[in-house]
Amino acid sequence: MSFKRTVSLFICFVLAAALLLPAGAQAAAGMDNFDARAVSYTRGQFSDINESAWYGFDNQKSVATACGLGLMNGTGSGFSPEGSLTIAQAITMAARIFSIYNGDNHVFEQGTPWYQCYVDYAEDNYIIDKNGFAGQMDRKATRAEMAYILAYALPYDELNKINHVTSLPDVDANDEYFDEICTLYCAGILTGNDAYGTFTPNEPISRAAAAAIVSRLALPELRKSFTLTSVPSSNGAALLDYSHYNAVSKPAKINTYNDFVRAWEWMLVNSVYMERFPSDLLFKSSKLGFYQEAALEAKSVAALNYYDYASFLGKSTIETEYLYNASGDCYDVYFTLILGNADGISNSTVSLQTDAFESTCADIVAGLYESGELNTSMTNKQKAYVLYRYVALNTSYDESYTRYTGYDAAVLHSAVCQGYAGMYSMLCNLAGVPAAAMTGEVGGVSHAWNRVYDNGRWYYIDVTFADPVPDSPGYCDDSWFWLDEATIRTIEGGRSFDSDSYEYINTFSLNTQAADFSEYSPELIESIEYAA
Kindly report the three-state secondary structure assignment for every residue of 114-148.
CCHHHHHHHHHCCCCCCCCCCCCCCCECEHHHHHH
Contact 280, 255 (CB under 8 A): yes
> Which of 458, 462, 470 shows the shortest CA–CA distance to 397?
470
What is residue 509's predicted lDDT score, i.e. its pLDDT? 38
Pairing of strands 414-415, 396-397: parallel
What is the average pLDDT value for the chain, to the nearest integer?
86
Contact 41, 64 (CB under 8 A): yes
Band (pLDDT 50/70/90 cuts) for residue 58 is confident
3-state secondary structure of 441: strand
What is residue 522's predicted lDDT score, i.e. its pLDDT? 35
pLDDT at 209 over 90: yes
Of 70-79, 338-347, 381-390, where does the model show the most confidence? 381-390
- Measure Cα distances from 21 to 17, 18, 158, 219 in Å: 6, 6, 21, 25
Question: Could you read off the pLDDT of 71-112 as tens digits, one per residue?
Answer: 998 887 789 998 899 999 999 999 999 999 999 989 999 999
> What does residue 7 show for φ and ψ, rounded to 5 degrees?
-65, -40
> For 351, which DSSP code?
H
> Which of 71, 80, 326 shows the shortest CA–CA distance to 204?
80
> For 157, which DSSP code?
G
> For 442, which DSSP code?
E
Among the residue ranges 249-253, 365-369, 446-450, 493-497, the one predicted with the least confidence is: 493-497
CA dist., res. 530 & res. 498, Å (int)? 10
Question: Could you read off the pLDDT of 2-57 as tens digits, one per residue?
Answer: 333 333 333 233 333 333 334 445 668 899 999 867 667 888 888 889 888 889 88
pTM of the model: 0.55
Question: Could you read off the pLDDT of 191-203 as tens digits, one per residue?
Answer: 988 888 889 898 8
CA dist., res. 519 & res. 506, Å (int)? 12
What is residue 484's predicted lDDT score, i.e. its pLDDT? 94
Mean pLDDT of 289-293: 85
pLDDT at 528 over 70: no
Of residues 403 and 500, more confidently modeled:
403
CA dist., res. 142 & res. 82, Å (int)? 14
CA dist., res. 171 & res. 198, Å (int)? 8
> For 112, which DSSP code?
S
**74 Cβ neighbours under 8 A, 6+ residues apart:** 46, 67
> What does residue 276 show for φ and ψ, rounded to 5 degrees?
-105, 125
What is residue 345's predicted lDDT score, i.e. its pLDDT? 87
Contact 104, 97 (CB under 8 A): no
Max CA separation in the chain (angstroms): 114
Of residues 26 and 177, more confidently modeled:
177
> Which of 521, 532, 381 shows the shortest CA–CA distance to 461?
381
Among the residue ranges 215-224, 289-298, 334-343, 389-398, the one predicted with the least confidence is: 289-298
Band (pLDDT 50/70/90 cuts) for residue 232 is low
Of residues 518 and 222, more confidently modeled:
222
What is residue 267's predicted lDDT score, i.e. its pLDDT? 96
Task: Annotate 358-406 with DSSP letters as a single string.
Answer: HHHHHHHHHHHHHHTSS-TTS-HHHHHHHHHHHHHHH-EE-TTS---SH
Question: Could you read off the pLDDT of 233-263 as tens digits, one per residue?
Answer: 668 888 999 999 998 999 999 988 889 999 9
Question: Could you read off the pLDDT of 139-165 as tens digits, one per residue?
Answer: 999 999 999 999 999 999 999 999 998
Mean pLDDT of 374-396: 95
Q: Percent of the chain having pLDDT more than 70?
A: 88
- Measure Cα distances from 484 to 8, 479, 480 in Å: 50, 12, 10
Question: Could you read off the pLDDT of 180-194 as tens digits, one per residue?
Answer: 999 999 999 999 888
What is residue 412's predicted lDDT score, i.e. its pLDDT? 95
